[in-house]
Amino acid sequence: MDPVAGWVCGVGLLVLGASVHYLRKHVGTGAGGVGRNAAIGIRTKATMASDAAWERGHAAAGPLLTATFRTAYVVGAVTVLVTLVVGSGGSPAVLAVPLTGFVAALGLLVAASVRANAAARDLSGDRGLPG
């Protein structure tokens, strides 16, 4: 396996971690934060319904977003270390470690989005129940 793949995946996880870290720190944090917008944040129909829904959704998703960026940072660093140790010898670990990290980060992001959406829907009283 090409060790460049390990570098690319490791750096990719670190960039993902930094992006989610920024999201966690600056989006939906009230005064001084990035408010409801069409570019960044957890944008579901429920969270975009009002500023209050946006704030509540992001607050509810906060712990999962923190877990996401920490996971991405740790697995990204481990990937870079594995790539350094393995070097040009190639090992399945060079791809297995970051792929596991990407799957974990994706799962955490989906869970954060579901939690944000549910919190925003609870605020509006819309629980998605029929009729």
Is 129 inside a domain boundary? Answer: no
pTM reported for the whole predicted model: 0.85
pLDDT surpassing 60 at residue 128: no
Residue 130 lies in a domain: no
Query: Lowest-confidence range among 15-24, 69-78, 84-93?
Result: 84-93
Q: Does the residue 109 lie in any domain? A: yes
Give the chain's domain count: 1
Question: What are the DSSP calls for 41-94, one per residue?
Answer: S---TTTTS-HHHHHHHHHHHHHHHHHHHHHHHHHHHHHHHHHHHHGGG--THH
Domain presence at residue 97: yes
Domain extent for 116:
3-124
Q: Is residue 23 part of a domain?
A: yes
Does some domain include residue 131?
Answer: no
> Per the domain annotation, does 116 fall within a domain?
yes
pLDDT at 119: 95
